[in-house]
Structure 1
Amino acid sequence: MKRIFRFLPAALAATFLLTACPSTKDTEKATTTTAEAPLPKAPVFNADSAYAFTAKQVAFGPRVPNSKAHVACGNWLVNKFKGWGLTVKEQPFEAMAFDGTMLKARNIIAQYQPQAARRVAIFAHWDTRPYADNDPKNPKAPLDGASDGASGVAVALEMARILAAQTDSLAPNVGVDFILFDAEDWGYDSGTQQGQKNLLEGSGDSWCLGSQYWGKNLLPANYKAEYGVLLDMVGAKNGKFSREELSRNNARPAVDKIWNTAARLGYTDFFLFQDSPGITDDHVYTNEAGIPTVDIIDHLPYGNEYFPAYHHATTDNMDIIDRKTLKAVGQTVTQTLYVE
């Protein structure tokens, strides 16, 4: 995912100043009542399966748009969703990257219970950055994107698999749309690419090209959801997920629901009751499209660095993927669907 830390556009930032007072306190607890009802029964999220889905994507090689590995992985994703009986739509598009490269890309949409009126969207991006420009030793090397890309898709896949296996009586009260964005991560990083010209400067964001396209060309047409959850960098060991600013300002009820559910499941080591600054990610464009979206993203909770050391580096490989993190995220989001 794009991934540099940067402030959100000025217009959005001004809105945040008017509507939010971020807190960095780590002492806030889950919102509870004295006689809290037990959580509804939800399917068990299988972390081994999610780990295998992560490894399978990595095995294709870097999923960089215009590459054979990218096409092969996309075909595999479509076939997996179809094999579980979901309704699948593909959204091919072309977009120019910041360096002038024309990217052939596609968003992938898989619908569970497409007839349901109430809907929740699960977003992730399935492409990888074309080079490890944050790597201190090999900034031009390719990267696996095991956490940055593959882990979010893997959690979405495992959720789709277990939901599809439920009988009608055990299904959640909402339909779920798994929307995988392409061409998210071929963006201009002013910190690592000062010597290159950003051809998109002044005409649009060079990151999140797939979600930008989807937001302007909704598929399904006129798509609506009660809220969305963006899964980004959700598989690394000791992952930490704070409540990101844009998420708080646009989807606070969903943020509270997810973090409180995580606390009740015992995952407060992962889901921190701590606020973090806003970042530009796919949720910028899903929020603009009218879907209040929460960004669950690995974030260093203390210090001046926002992203972990593996971010856009060659160390973003299967060595850092941890089943405990995948379980915490996957079970929390799955259980949240059953709270509806």
Structure 2
Amino acid sequence: MKRNYTLIPLCLVLLAFIACSNNTKKASDDTEATTKNAVNVPQFNADSAYQYVKAQVDFGPRVPNTKAHVDCGNYLANKLTEFGAKVTNQYVDLPAYTGTLLKARNIIGSYKPDTKKRIVLFSHWDSRPWADADPDAKKHYTPILGANDGASGVGVLLEIARHLQKQLPEMGIDIVFVDAEDYGTHQAYNGPHKEEYWGLGSQYWARNPHVQGYNARFGILLDMVGGKNAEFRYEGLSHEVAPNVNEKVWKTANALGFGRHFVQKKGGFVTDDHTFINKYAKIPTIDIVPYYPEGDFFEHWHTVKDDMDAIDKATLQAVGQTVMQVIYSEK
């Protein structure tokens, strides 16, 4: 009996040793598999993005039918070409609500254009033709620089494009700079304020994509993504049409430590380029756009003070690194 008594624990020790060895091997295998499957995401450079924002602002207000608009459009197309994209330009005359015919230009940069699985990234590159929200009524018809409202999203996407040239993700990526987004009704306009008066370039692209039959798994719109202390919440329409994309982006941001900027709460509904992309192109597209409890998009929205002083590199970093993590992780 004594012998049997000592044999049982020895067997248990042996079994435990075998189990431990198997668990160690499994853990080692899991670690190796995780390492193999780990996504190598480039590091977004906010200093670089800031310079791309500044380069646009240096042209002056990028209002359609102006020299600054033409020159900046050429700059953007050349940068996408420099960064290895296949560039498509959509030149189109679009009527504004005033009846003015706008010489608009959508600029598209495509990476891995033959790949069917795609993600599309948007930002508008034009700036508001009038500072109709400025505290000074004398400036209500002064064009704005649009450092945050326009240039910030484009600057982030140019920095992403710079990395795409060096390292391509599995998905095909299209970067779409849409035009004539901000030529919507002046606050003093006495006529109807229709949502279709905004986002003229995105309406055109959504109905006439740069590739016939174009489709993408999802889209992400960046608008006003460089403001100081910006807080982004789930935009209303985005959360209706693409809640899974919203969750993916906001969870990624929080995992990266950007929870101060990406707050996992619902914000309001915004008429923006994604409104028309969802409506006409049927591509589930979300809008990363700032939410402020006071009701305005940010302090200097549609004022002459939307200049480089309004830009915060920390916000550019939070948005840029988050979007890069998302697109490089998608399979």
TM range (shorter): 0.7 to 0.9
Cα distance in 2 between the residues matched to 1:46 and 1:132: 31
- Alignment-derived partner of residue 182 in structure 1: 179
What residue in structure 2 maps to residue 297 of structure 1? 289
Alignment root-mean-square deviation, CA: 1.6
- Gapped runs of 5+ residues in structure 2? 1-33
Which structure shows the higher helix fraction? 2
Q: Are the counterparts in 2 of residues 173 and 338 from structure 1 also a CA contact under 8 Å?
A: yes
Match of 1:152 in 2: 153
CA contact (8 A) 2:130 2:142 kept: yes
Which residue does the alignment assign to 2:67? 68
Alpha-carbon distance in 1 for matches of 2:296, 2:313: 23
Say if 2:104 is the partner of 1:105. yes
**Corresponding residue for residue 270 of structure 2:** 279
Amino acid aligned to 2:176: I
Per-residue deviation, 1:117: 1.7
CA drift of 1:339 comes to: 1.8
Structure 1 segment 222-233 matched on structure 2, within 5 A: 222-233=213-224
Q: Which amino acid aligns with 2:328?
A: Y
Asked if the contact 1:108/1:180 (under 8 Å) is kept, the reply is yes
Equivalent position of 1:24 in the other structure: none
Superposition TM-score, scaled by structure 1 size: 0.83
- Aligned residue number for residue 164 of structure 2: 163
> 2:110 is paired with a residue of what secondary structure?
strand
Unaligned runs of 5+ in 1: 1-36
* TM-score using structure 2 length: 0.85
Aligned match of 2:118: 119
Tell me by how many angstroms 1:184 deviates: 0.5
For the Cα contact (< 8 Å) 1:125–1:184, is it kept in 2?
yes
Q: RCO greater where, 1 or 2, for CA within 8 Å and sep 6 or more? A: 1
SS in 2 for 1:65: coil
Matched residue type, 1:163: L
**1:23-55 residue CA offsets vs partner (Å, 9 max, x unmatched):** xxxxxxxxxxxxxx7962200111011000000
Q: Percent identity?
A: 47
Bigger Rg over Cα: 2
Distance 2:73 2:126 in 1: 9
Q: How does 1:87-102 map to 2 (within 5 A)?
A: 87-102=86-101
- 4+ runs of 1 displaced by more than 4 Å? none
State how far apart, in whole Å, the 2-side matches of 1:40 and 1:165 are.
Answer: 15
Provide the rounded CA distance (Å) in 2 between the counterparts of 1:205 and 1:115: 32
Deviations 1:272-299 (A, max 9, x none): 1110121110001111211100100112
**Distance in 2, Cα, partners of 1:75 & 1:331:** 26
Q: Partner residue of 2:188?
A: 193
- Name 1:308's counterpart in structure 2: 298
